[in-house]
Structures are given as C-alpha cells and as structure tokens.
Structure 1
Amino acid sequence: MGLNDVILLETMLEQDRRRSAPNMDPTQHHTFFVAKHYLRQNFSLGHDDLLSGIVDGEGDCGIDAIHLFANSMCVRDDTPLGMLGRRTRLELVITQTKNTAGFTEPPIDKLLVSLPKLLTFGRDEATLAQSANPRLIEVTRRFLETYRALELPELQINVVFAALRAQEVHPGIQRKAKELEHCLSQLFAACEPQVRFLGAVEISNLARHATSITRKLILAENPISTDMEGGYVAVVRLADYEKFITGRSGELDSPLFEANVRDYEGETAVNQSIQDTLEQPDPAEDFWWLNNGVTIVAEKVQPANKMLELKSPQIVNGLQTSWEIYKRRSSNSSTDRRSVLVKVIEAQDNAARERIIRATNSQTAFGPSTLRATDQVQRHIEEYLGSKGLYYERRRRYYFNQGMPVDKIVSIDQMGQAVLSILVQTPHIARSSPSKIFDPGIYEKVFAPDRELPTYYACVKILRAAGDFLVVDGGIGIVEDFQYHLAMLLGMVLTGHEQPEPRDVASLAEADFSTGVARELLRLIQAEYERANRSKRVLLLDKLAKDAFVTEHVLQRGREFLHGTTQTAAPTQRRASRHRERSKGF
C-alpha cells in the first residue's frame, strides 16, 4: 500500500461526509463510515440501527461502535426474538476506528481489560456505570440477555480495528490479537471469535463493494407467465428453496421477510400440519398440492430457463411455510424431490408493491410497520416532510440505501417516538417499546389521519432539537436516555400547555428554540432520575428512561415549571423571553 491509497481514502471519507453526514463530527463520521461499510456486507440495518450502536466518547471502554445481530437482523430494544427459533446465529460486532498510520497494542490491551467486565453474566452494573457509558452498558446487557434467551444459538464475536492510514499489521500486533480471541473464547466456550484489522486499502475496498441485492431462484420447471408482463408461477424443489432463504452461515435470512406482516407463530396446529407433511412424505402426493405456497415481490425479475434472477426480493406471504421448510434441514432431505409453489411478481412501483403486500396479507390483523406503511396518512407525511427537505422512510432503509444524508432521514419509528413523547406524553414507551406505535388503539392516536401535517414535522423537529442539545451538552452516550423526556417537556413549555393539542404543536413547525430553557428542563429531568434512584435504587439511566414512574414525576415537575411554581424556575416573563431566543446549537 502506498501514499495514494491513504489519499484516496481521505477523499472518499470527505465525499461521504459531505453527502451522507454533513453535520457529523469528522471523528464520529470515521466510526460511522467504517461501521456502515463493514456491516452492510453481511447484515440488515438501517440508519437508526447504525447510529444506535455508536458509543464513542467518555466511558466507551475502548469501543467506538457495538452492534448485535440475530440471523443478520439488527437486535434493538423490542426486536421480537420469538420468531428466531433454534440454531439462531447471534453475532456481536465491536468496532474501533482511529485516524492513525498503524495499529498499536494499547487499544487491544484496553479491550482485554474491558470485555471481561462488559460481557460477563451477573456483572455489577452499578460498578460498571462508574467507567462505562450508558449506551455501552445497555447494548452489552441486551447481548447477554438475548444470548441467554435464545435456544442453542451459534455465537460469533467480531472485533474490528480500523486504522485509516495504516499500511500493515506488525506480527506482534497479530500475536496480541490472538490473546484477545483467546480471552473471548474463555468468556464463551461456544464462541467463534475473530479479530480483524482494516487499513486504508481494506476500508476503501469495502466502500467500493456494492451490496448484492440480486438473488437467483432455481426452478424445478420453466415458469408459467401470463400476458401481463412481470408475473410468474413456478414450482421450486424444497432443497433449492431452502438455499434461497438461507444466509451465508446457514441461518434463516431474516431480511428476506421484512415485508411479511407476521412473525413465525411457532408450534401452531397449522405449522404442525406442515411439519408432518414435510417429515412424512406420501409418494403419491407432492408438497405443493397440499400447501398454499409462497409469494415473492421483487423490483425486477429476469427469467432464464429454469431460473429467475430477482432484484431486491421480499417474501411477502408464506413465512410459516418457509420456516417449516427451513427447519426440515435437520432431517435427511437429499432424496426429497418434492416442490413448493412460488408466485413471483415484478413490482417496480412502490404503490403496486404495497397493494400486493396488503392483498396477500388481508387475513392478518394490522400491526407491523411494513403494512402500516401503505396507509394514506403515511404517504401524506412523506410528501409533507419532503417539502421540508426531509426523507420519511415508510419502508426501512429505503432512503438510507440511496445514500441520502442520515440527518435528513426520518424513520417511521422515530416519527412514532416523537409523537409518543410530545403529544401522547409517554416518553418511557418511546424509549423502551417504539414498535407499540403500531398496536391497535395506539396507532390511531399517533397517526390520526385528520391531523395537521405540520404537527408531525414539529414533533420530529423538537425531538431532534432535544437530541442535538444533549450531544453538545453531554455527549452521544446520554442522548437516548434523556431525549424523549426532554422533548415532552419542551412540547409543554414551548406551547404553554400542560397537555399540548396537535394544533398547538403544529404552530411550532417554524419556531426556533433556546438552549437556555432546554438546560433548565434537563436539570429537572436529572433531578427526577436521581430521586427515582434514591427511592427505587435504579442507577442505570436507560432503566430510568423506560420507567412510567419517572415519567409521572417528570410530568409533574414540567407542570410546576410551566406555571412558575418550582424553585429552579425563572419568572414567567423572563422564561417566555428565553423561549423565543434563537440559538445556533438548538
């Protein structure tokens, strides 16, 4: 590797920062860039997932980013684990990025000390909180709880050291890496640890390598198509279908099923019947005679004899059948010549794709975001936010995959969290269970179809303003644990109402906010966190942020502040003036 490789990577980094993260600190962008391009090769994650794993800053224990995946799917707070079943492939990816010309021993030594403390069951989190930041503690706790909850998971831990100007790895560093791998093996006997070093060439190659979004489906016979272009019906050998739905390491490829509105339902009577049919074949009957089959939607379908090449395929119906076919891998199926019926539909237009998803799942109660994304209110929000220069992702990763600036992308989950915090005043739910916005009864409150569209824009603006303030005031590690409560109080104070109405919030769409009032409100929240800790002995911020008891008391402090009855509150007239101050940072 020569000087040119380093220069080319520096150019690539600067171009990516200007395009996808213009407001991100350059050092943080280095971590973001490396994590994005390393992870996207093998895992399914959106911009929210990617940003949630960045823990760089005070108390990072030598870790810049840490992400958890199950069957290639990013695991967050309320990710459903029940659908993963046995033999789940669980992967923890730890990343450290430095703008240096080489790799040194101290970063590895730091992880040799930190990881046994972070990745040990029964760890003392109160003691850990003295040296580790809240986000790092939460992600590693999630990993331990997920590993314990899954049945017979396969565990892989990857540690990635990236040096943006490195040319080679010294043999002494390689030996040190072996120590770290041995350390991880001692922590988890069944673990497959791997330490990897990325220099300028390796990082550049990852960035240049386009993520494959094309898959081949091998057919038993030539497909049948109608006069209408883009629709095919075919039968696929069970073994070939298994290969199609299986990931690189033998796990079920979860991203293929993101548009399916149901999770795997387990040992139901219907699924047991499918199992019995698969395990006890009747030589006089083919499997597809007895099963409704599978529906796949793709952006483009290219037939070639007994094969279909699919661009961005999604299995929109047939998850239960797919799971049972996948589970049969444990049996000897090499001589099984049976097939499954597969419908493949080319739908280049988003609206057409959504109609197919809705129609093929009409028997299922609404709930997951993939189905709600077709609602008219979601389309209207996308159009309105687009007029404000924001990209509203009704579909996960839609704009992220197009390379749009991450600070301009608003996910449907983040919108729900903003409304839950500011209008519904349940920031603890926004923090702990954002997917609840899709539950019947809650969804209608969050996404009321007759609500003024500026309300949604204002909610996101307030939530993000709260996050921006927290980054400046205390670093990225505290943002998630205070952001939702702070947004709730800002909504109250800026509208002047204890329970803001949508029209009150909508009036804030073009408002500017003051860092002064945000700082006062943050002190109120911190005081309530401390009080809750004294009464409930819950020290960890993320647990306090998810506690309804804390929300109740923060709300009361907010009401007192609003009416000028708290000791820390300034006189009403002075506060009202500060609310109107303009500040570059908020």
Structure 2
Amino acid sequence: MDRITSSLIKELLVTQEIKSEGESKDFEKLVNYSIISNEYNKTFDLNLVTIGEGNDTGIDGIAIIVNGQLIETLEEVDDLIVKNNFLEVDFILTQSKTSSNFSSSDINTFIFGVNDFFSETPKLIRNESLEKLAEISNHIFSNAPKFKRNPNIKLFYVTTGKWIEDANLKAVITSGIQTLEQSNLFNNINFQALGARELSFAYRKTKETVSTTINFTSRVTMPEINGISQAYIGLIPYSEFLKIVSDSEGILLNVFEDNVRDFQGDNNDVNGGIATTLSNSDNEIFSVLNNGVTIVASSISPTGNQFTISDYQIVNGCQTSNVLYNHRNFQDINKVSIPIKLIATIDDEIKTRITLATNNQTPIKKEQLASLTQFQRSLEQYYNSFTGDKRLYYERRSKQYNSDSSVLKSRIITLPNQIKSFAGMFLDEPHNVTSFFGLIVRRLNEGKVQIFDNEHLYSPYYTSSYTYYKLESFFKKGLIDTNYRKVKFHILMLFRILFAKEIIPPFNSKKMDKYCDNLLEILDDDEKALKAFNKCIEVIDNADFDKTDKQDVKLVSKTKNLIEFSKNYKVN
C-alpha cells in the first residue's frame, strides 16, 4: 500500500478513535467513509454502513438513502412515507481491495453479490448486517407505488492501484451493468472504479466547507449594517437556486440552520400550496407569492455577477427550498425565479436574530422556534466548556466541524444522536429511538415530548451524549461485544437507573447538575465505566428481554421489564 493511503488510514483511525483491525479492514473503513461522505451530506455512523465481516457476498459497504436520510430501520422508511408521501431512494455499495491491481474476477464477484442483494430469491449466505439491510431494501421495493422514480444505484470498486481504463475491465463492468438493468429495478446505474489517487481526493473533499458560485444579476446591495460585512436582496433563476441547495450531482445539501425541524413534507397547507403554485402553468407568479429564502454565509466573494458563497446556511426557507428541490424535474420549473436575501456575517448573535425575525413557517410556532434556536446554541456552548477527555463537539449544524482537523470525528455528537441519547437515557424511551426515531421528532415538532425545553439544564443532555460516546468507544476497542450495539440506548437507560445515587430530579432543577456529576464521575474512570456497562449488560441478559428479537427491542413493555428487573439488581 502506498504511503499516502497509509497515512489517510492512520488519520481516520485517530479521528474516529477506531482500533485497527488490520490493513484490509482499515482500508474498507477508509473507502466507506470517503465515498459515502461525498454522497451523503450529513454526519453518519461508519459502523452502520460497513458490512464486510464474512458472508458479505462480495460487498464491503452499503448506504441506503431515502428522501435524503440514511436509513437504519424499516420503521424509518414508514415514517418518511407518512411524512412526505413519497420515496426517493439511492443505494450506494462499495467493494474495497488493498491490491494494486484491478481484478476482473473481483469485479464480477462484486456485481454478482449486488445482484444477489436485490434478488427476491438470494443464493448467497448473508451475514447479520447484510440481512438487515436486504430486509430494508425489500421493504422499500414493496412500497414501489410511492416512488417518485425508480431508485438510483452507485457502485464503487476501489483498490490501491491506478485505474487506466482497461478495455477488458470496462467490458466486464458494462456486462455487469446490463445484468442489473435487466432487473428493471433502477432508474440509473453508475459504476465507478477508483484507484489510490481518486480515493485520496475523495477523502480530502470530506474536509471541505460547503460553498457554491451563483450568477446573481437581479440584485440590490443593502446599506452598511453593523456586524454584517455584505448583504444583498434580489431574484435568482431556478437553475441558480439549485446550485445553492444541491451539489454538482443534484444531491440535496444539508444547509438548513437549526435542522431540528427538518423538511415537514408536502402534507401541510403551506408546503402543499407552494407545490400547487409550482405545478401550475403560470408558476412564474411564485416570485411574488413567496417570501423567499434567506441565506447567511461566513463570506461572499463577488466577481461581477458571479458570487461565491462559503460556509452558508439557509436560515429561513427550509420548507420552500425542499419543495422547490422536489420539483426540479417539473417541465416548466425553469420559468420560476426565487426571491433571496444573501447576507455575510460571522456573528452568531446576528444569525440568531435573522433566523427568528425571518421565520414564519409551519408547523412550528415562532415562540417554539426561538426556544429551540437559543437552546441549541447554548447547548453547543455548554459542550465547549469541557476540556481534555471530556471534550465533545455538539454538531448543531450538519458537518460544521468537517474542515477543522483538530476535532476528533468520533467526539462529534450529531443532533439525531443527541435526541436518541437523551430520550433513551433520561426519558426511558430506548424502544422509541431504536426503531421509531421519526416518532420522537414528530412529537418534538408538536411540542409533545419533553426535550430541548428552554427551562432545562444542559447537564443531562451532555451526560447522555458522553455516556453514548464512552459506550461507543468500548465497542470500538473490542471491550464490549458489538452484538449489544443494537440495544445501546437501553444500556444508557440502565446505566442511569443502576448507578445514579438518587431519584431523578426535574430537568429544570439545580439538583440535576449534581445528579449528572455522579454519573460522569463513573464515566471518567474507564475501569469503573466498563464495569458499570457490563452490569447493564447482565440486566439485559437476565431480564425478560431478548436483544436479538427485533420486537423486544422496540416494545415499551420490554423496556418496563428491564426497568423493573433493574430495581432489584445489586450492582456491587
């Protein structure tokens, strides 16, 4: 293996705090991280997409992306159907070889394994991870009437060598694509063979901040404003707007500030109205009916009418942007112009004020938005108050730490993992976050779940995330059997129940800080923490609870069994 690829692997192992499993396995992780990071615009769990562990049918990585979300469970697909009333699906599959050669037999094995993965009558033996992902895939195709288009599929075959467009290998690839086309399952099939140079480029690209260049002709420069370096207001054609919300391959970017709310789908009055306007023959009237989109960037570099915007977020217009994006293939969409405000500032307080002042969208009330926005920013600051081994990074905006090489990526806590950890550990709802994460988000949007309340102390949020981080670190080091990963949020709940020294206080009580300090004291000592987690696992093994049963994991009655059993369980 060449020196550059070796150094990239070393950096990945450090930043992800992953224990080396040998050159071949480490290379698989590098490939999966680099490829999928460029195809999926949110932070993800590398373990979720890495499946090469024997009986992998020649496939090392699989990512299933539905409506812009990386899917873990069948229930998440159902949630998206309810939420959006459509499915837009992309499959990404990888095969990695540390050999410097491109082997026709290995490519054939890969393509045969891909065909078998999508077969209704598979012939190859599958490991547990592959079986789970195939079940999700089958569930997606069973909901084909909801497809906006047939799924796209991208295949990546990666070695440490140099791809030289060998005619024989290209013939093998063409033949393989034809067999996939005969299944009539896919809208578009793309096969890429990559060498070490292309892989290193893909890895470096994962560190870049989001930026784009648009043609902004119809604009007015706003007067000088304290704290704002540049500001413009105007109209841009739909084709230019797409450059802001999607990448060069048309994949939707995650550039929406405070994305707790995310896209609410077309199934509400506001978004449905936007969709109706865009679908009409006179859709050019959109520009006078819609309030438009507000974009805040760290910097704007104008050259004539060409504007390069860097490190930007859409702070108002998430719903509008998603509906516009979803209509990108409508035949008359290019008649539409979009009103935009383009603002450059590095002042977080000004960003917050802009977000609150410009946002008037449903289904969230402005007072809820104010609370969520301020809470998220303050929680991020609370995380930043910790140093040393207790330092974690709260990723309020997707991939906001990508360009910071000093940040260990394993210590980044994403918004979904914050919600899952808190709900599992402190709300006793591990059954919901394991399989029904969409339910938690819907309840949050409706104000029916006790999370991100402005009266809450920040300590339980950080503590739940730190517990999650420590447990994951033990999985990565091989100190805890990874078979327990599927019940990790149950373990978080049991850790609190078994090792807290008192009854859980209200989340707005000063007693909560001390309550959390007692738990953090255990977590600060690896030996004590490992022993504590093993006690939690003993409860799971001895209670009326089967971690291998998918129903047990997501049933509230089984969670109650764990809670009742743990009450009488001696931890010493």
Q: What's the TM-score once normalised by structure 1's chain length? A: 0.77
Aligned partner (choices 514, 531, 537) of residue 522 of structure 1: 537
Instruction: Give the CA deviation at 1:486.
Output: 2.0
Aligned partner (choices 342, 345, 350) of residue 344 of structure 1: 342
**1:95 and 1:159 in contact (8 A); partners too:** yes
Amino acid at match of 1:383: N
Amino acid at match of 1:213: V
**2:88 and 2:148 in contact (8 A); partners too:** no
Aligned partner (choices 212, 215, 220) of residue 218 of structure 1: 215
SS of residue matched to 2:394: strand
Cα deviation digits, residues 41-67 of structure 1 (max 9, x gap)? 343121x34443223335544433211
Distance 1:169 1:359 in 2: 54
Structure 1 alignment gaps of length 5 or more: 534-539, 563-574, 577-586
Distance 2:505 2:118 in 1: 43
Structure 2 alignment gaps of length 5 or more: 507-511
**1:155 and 1:192 in contact (8 A); partners too:** yes
Amino acid at match of 2:232: Y
SS of residue matched to 1:330: coil
Q: What's the TM-score once normalised by structure 2's chain length? A: 0.79
Going from structure 1 to structure 2, the CA distance change for 1:291 and 1:22 (only over 3 Å counts) comes to closer
Aligned-residue Cα RMSD (Å) equals 4.1
Instruction: Report what 2:468 is aligned to.
Output: 463
1:362-377 maps to which residues of 2 (within 5 A)?
Answer: 362=360, 364=362, 365=364, 372-375=372-375, 377=378
- Are 1:556 and 2:564 counterparts? yes
Instruction: Give the CA deviation at 1:199.
Output: 2.3
- Are 1:301 and 2:300 counterparts? yes
1:154-553 maps to which residues of 2 (within 5 A)?
Answer: 154-164=150-160, 174-178=170-174, 180-209=176-205, 211=208, 213-228=210-225, 229-242=229-242, 244-245=244-245, 247-249=247-249, 253-257=252-256, 259=258, 261=261, 263-266=263-266, 270=270, 274=274, 279-281=280-282, 287-323=286-322, 325-326=324-325, 327=327, 329-332=329-332, 336=335, 339-362=337-360, 364=362, 365=364, 372-375=372-375, 377-386=378-387, 388-403=390-405, 404-434=407-437, 436=440, 438-439=444-445, 444-445=450-451, 449-451=455-457, 453=459, 455-471=460-476, 472=478, 476=482, 478-495=483-500, 502=512, 503-511=514-522, 512=525, 513=528, 515=530, 518-519=533-534, 521-526=536-541, 541-553=549-561
Distance 1:247 1:255 in 2: 10
1:32-111 maps to which residues of 2 (within 5 A)?
Answer: 32-46=29-43, 48-70=44-66, 73-77=69-73, 78=76, 81=80, 90-104=89-103, 107-108=106-107, 111=110
Going from structure 1 to structure 2, the CA distance change for 1:184 and 1:544 (only over 3 Å counts) comes to farther
Distance 1:332 1:450 in 2: 48
Instruction: Give the CA deviation at 1:460.
Output: 3.0
Percent identical pairs in the alignment equals 18
Instruction: Report what 1:570 is aligned to.
Output: none
Going from structure 1 to structure 2, the CA distance change for 1:108 and 1:479 (only over 3 Å counts) comes to farther
Instruction: Give the CA deviation at 1:217.
Output: 2.8
Going from structure 1 to structure 2, the CA distance change for 1:63 and 1:275 (only over 3 Å counts) comes to closer
Distance 1:280 1:306 in 2: 29
Amino acid at match of 1:341: P
Distance 2:464 2:148 in 1: 43
Instruction: Give the CA deviation at 1:233.
Output: 0.9
Distance 1:44 1:321 in 2: 19
Going from structure 1 to structure 2, the CA distance change for 1:30 and 1:426 (only over 3 Å counts) comes to same
**1:66 and 1:93 in contact (8 A); partners too:** yes
Distance 1:459 1:561 in 2: 22
1:20-35 maps to which residues of 2 (within 5 A)?
Answer: 21=17, 23=19, 25=21, 27=23, 28-35=25-32
Going from structure 1 to structure 2, the CA distance change for 1:62 and 1:13 (only over 3 Å counts) comes to same
Number of residue equivalences: 540
Instruction: Give the CA deviation at 1:234.
Output: 0.9
Aligned partner (choices 127, 134, 138) of residue 132 of structure 1: 127
Amino acid at match of 2:241: Y
Going from structure 1 to structure 2, the CA distance change for 1:465 and 1:310 (only over 3 Å counts) comes to closer
Going from structure 1 to structure 2, the CA distance change for 1:32 and 1:517 (only over 3 Å counts) comes to same
